[in-house]
Amino acid sequence: MYTEYDTGYSPTGRVLMSVRHALLALLSEGPKYGLQLRQEFEARTGEVWPLNVGQVYTTMQRLERDGLVASDDGEEPGPQKSFRITPEGGAELAAWLATPPAADVPPRDELVIKVLVATRLPGVDVIQLLQTHRRHLIETMSRYTRLKEDAAEDDLGLLLVTDAEIFRLEAFVRWLDTAQARLRHRPPPAADPAPTPASTLAPTPASTRTRRGARAGR
């Protein structure tokens, strides 16, 4: 969720869609204040998905505009403004829960693109690049595994979120392993008379950078 190894979510697109429906789900239990929505959202996602309070209010304004939630009349936006779900919001939530996630996104993952590019560039040690990403993925998996190890047995939200992240990251490790096996059988690339200096292409794990969507206030 906080790495660039993300295949599905984009900071401005699907994450916000998920937040939108997660907030609707919270309101389906009864009216809630903005601050309360933020706290409950974080608690139920195992607190590994920090939500900016501004994100909550922006999302609530859009939901209200679309007629999916209603707020107490006359109150200014703020922590004490209470929201409730409308029948239209309930229908939207039910439809969203049953909609399959978009598993057919085009293969444009950043890690895949980096490796594809690296295989075409002269002077890049692709095997070393794969190992750099593999190590970084395992280190990230280790952090999630610690989180899972320390989680209370009944903290279902946290256990489910950490499991999901671990499986997702593992898929990339397996892909790197397969890529490495395929590269072993590849003939060495032809020498380039004027190669691009490989030193300028030193591998930097993508996820060492912060995504915009991950910068929410903590």
Binding site for another protein (CB under 8 A): 2, 47-48, 50, 131, 134-147, 149-150, 166-167, 169-170, 173-174, 177, 181, 204-205, 208-210, 214-218
Given the complex with another protein, which of 66 and 139 has the nearer CB atom? Answer: 139
Nearest distance in Å: CB 174, another protein: 7
Record the tokens describing residue 205, joined without a space: 């794990």
> Residue 56 Cβ, how far from another protein at the closest point, in Å?
17
> Residue 62 or 215: which CB sits closer to another protein?
215
Q: Measured between alpha carbons, how far is 160 from 165 in angstroms, rounded to an integer?
A: 9
**Nearest residue (CB) to another protein, 32 versus 134:** 134
- Minimum Å gap between C-beta 25 and another protein is 22
Shortest gap between Cβ of 169 and another protein (angstroms)? Answer: 8
What's the min distance (Å) between Cβ of 135 and another protein?
5
Q: How many CA atoms lie within 13 A of 33 on its CB side?
A: 9
- 69 contacts 86 by C-beta, under 8 angstroms: yes
Q: How far is the CB of 190 from another protein (least distance, A)?
A: 25
Nearer to another protein, 113 or 171 (CB): 171
Measured from the CB atom, the residue of 21 and 136 that comes closer to another protein is 136
Please, which residue, 57 or 144, has the CB nearer to another protein?
144
